[in-house]
Amino acid sequence: MSKQRVLSGVQPTGNLHLGNYLGAIRNWVEIQSQYDNYFCVVDLHAITVPHNPATLAADTYTIAALYLACGIDLNYSSIFVQSHVCAHSELAWLLNCITPLNWLQDMIQFKEKAVKQGENVSAGLLDYPVLMAADILLYEPDKVPVGEDQKQHLELTRDIAARLNHQFGSPEVPVLKLPNPLIRKEGARVMSLTDGTRKMSKSDPAEGSRINLLDSPDEIAKKIKRCKTDPVRGLTFDDPNRPECNNLLTLYTLLSGKTKEAVAAECQDMGWGQFKPLLAEVAVEALKPIQQKYKDVMDERGYLESVLREGRQKAEAHANETLRKVKAALGYSMPV
Ligand code: AMP
Ligand code: TRP
C-alpha cells in the first residue's frame, strides 16, 4: 500500500519564529517518515500584504533552507516554491469562480489582517484562502499539519472542494479529495512574549514579542529576560489568569523535551528570576543545531537550488494532473 500524503507550507515573510517551529515544522519533521510529503514555501501568499521585491527571493531561500535545517529529510519529503509551479495560480482562479464571496468575508484572518492594512486591502488578501485551498487540493493530501490559526482555512478548503465536487463531479467520482487538518495540541498556539493572550506572530511590530529561529544566544536571552510575566511566585500551567506563565512553561516543556508533569513539579516553587535563565538555556540549546545546519545549507547555494528544482519537478507532475482533472470537469478541452 502506498503511503498517505502530507502537504503544508509557510510564507516567506520575515524570519521563522518558535510558533512556526513548534506549531508546524517540528510536527512535519516528526511525522515525515510515515508519509509522502510536500512542503512548500508559499511566496505567492507573501504579496497579499505590501512586500519588498528586493528581499522576496532571499526570504524564500531562507525558509527553504530552514526547512532543511529543522530536519526535513529529502528521503521522505519534497521541498518546493509555490510560484515555481504555475498550477497553483491557475487552480486558484478556477476555485475563485465557485467560491461564494461571503465565505471569504467571514475568515477571521482576513478580518484581522484587513484592519491592520487600513485603506490598503488588496483583493489578494481576501482571496488568500482560495489560493491556499489550491495549494492543498492540487496534491490530494490526506493530512495538512498546521497550527491552530489555520483551522478555519482548512475547513474552507474542504467546503470549496465539496462544492466543486457537488457541482461538477458525481458522488461516485469526486473531482477533488477532501483533506484533513492535523493540529497537535501542544505548541499549536505559541503566544507572544509581550502579551500572553496574543499569538506569536511574524507581523507583530515588537521584535521582543517573538524568538526567531535564527536569533543569537544573546538576543534569545535578552528577549526572555524582558518578556512579560506576573508578580505571582510559583509557576503553574493552565491558570486562565496567568496566560504568560502557561505560555512560558509550555515553551520550556517543548524545548527541553521534558514531560508536562516533570516541568510542573520542577517549577512549582520557582520565581521568574530562577526560571528565565533556564528557559533561555533550553531555547539556545534547541536552536543551536538548527542554526548550524542552516549555515551549512546557505553556504551551498547550488545544493539548495538543486533541492528546489527537484522539488518543483515532483510537485509539478502531481499538480498538473489534478489541474487537468479539474479543468476537464469544468468543461475545458485542449488539443494535445
Ligand atoms: P505563517 O507564519 O502564517 O506562514 O504560518 C506558518 C505555520 O506556522 C502555520 O502552520 C501556522 O499555523 C503556524 N503558526 C504561525 N504562528 C503560530 C503560533 N504563534 N503558534 C503556533 N503555530 C503557529
Ligand atoms: N496560510 C498559511 C499560514 O499562514 C500558509 C499556507 C499557505 C499553507 N498555503 C498552505 C499552509 C497550504 C498549509 C497548506 O500559515
If one residue of 5, 7, 8, 110 were mutated to test the ligand 2 pocket, choosing by the most ligand atoms within 8 A of its CB, it would be: 8
Question: Does the beta carbon of 199 sit less than 6 angstroms from any atom of ligand 1?
Answer: yes
The per-residue pLDDT for range 214-224, each reduced to its tens digit, is 999 999 999 99
Q: Concatenated DSSP letters for 210-231?
A: --BTT--HHHHHHHHHHS---S
Question: Does the beta carbon of 196 sit less than 6 angstroms from any atom of ligand 1?
Answer: no
The per-residue pLDDT for range 287-309, each reduced to its tens digit, is 999 999 999 999 999 999 999 99
The per-residue pLDDT for range 179-236, each reduced to its tens digit, is 999 998 887 899 999 999 999 998 899 999 999 999 999 999 999 999 999 999 899 9
Q: How far is CA 129 from CA 72, 240, 244, 332, in A?
A: 25, 31, 30, 24
Which residues are paired to 77 by β-bridges? Answer: 37
Q: Which atom of ligand 2 is nearest to the CA of 24?
A: 15
**C-alpha neighbours within 13 Å on the C-beta side of residue 164:** 31
37 pLDDT more than 90: yes
Ligand nearest to the CA of 19: 1
If you measure from the C-alpha of residue 198 to the centroid of ligand 1, how many angstroms do you get, rounded to a whole number? 13
* CA-based torsion, 327, 47, 213, 147: positive or negative: negative
**Residues in Cβ contact with 127 at an 8 Å cutoff, skipping those fewer than 6 apart:** 48, 92, 96, 104
Closest CA relative to residue 146, chosen from 184, 203, 200: 184
**Residues in Cβ contact with 16 at an 8 Å cutoff, skipping those fewer than 6 apart:** 10, 25, 63, 66, 202, 212, 213, 214
Residues with catalytic function: 113, 199, 202
The per-residue pLDDT for range 112-123, each reduced to its tens digit, is 999 988 888 999
Question: Does the beta carbon of 154 sit less than 6 angstroms from any atom of ligand 1?
Answer: no
If you measure from the C-alpha of residue 127 to the centroid of ligand 1, how many angstroms do you get, rounded to a whole number? 19
Going by alpha carbons, the residue nearest to atom 6 of ligand 2 is 9
If one residue of 10, 16, 137, 203 were mutated to test the ligand 2 pocket, choosing by the most ligand atoms within 8 A of its CB, it would be: 10
Cell of 303: 545544493
Helix, strand, or coil (residue 175):
coil
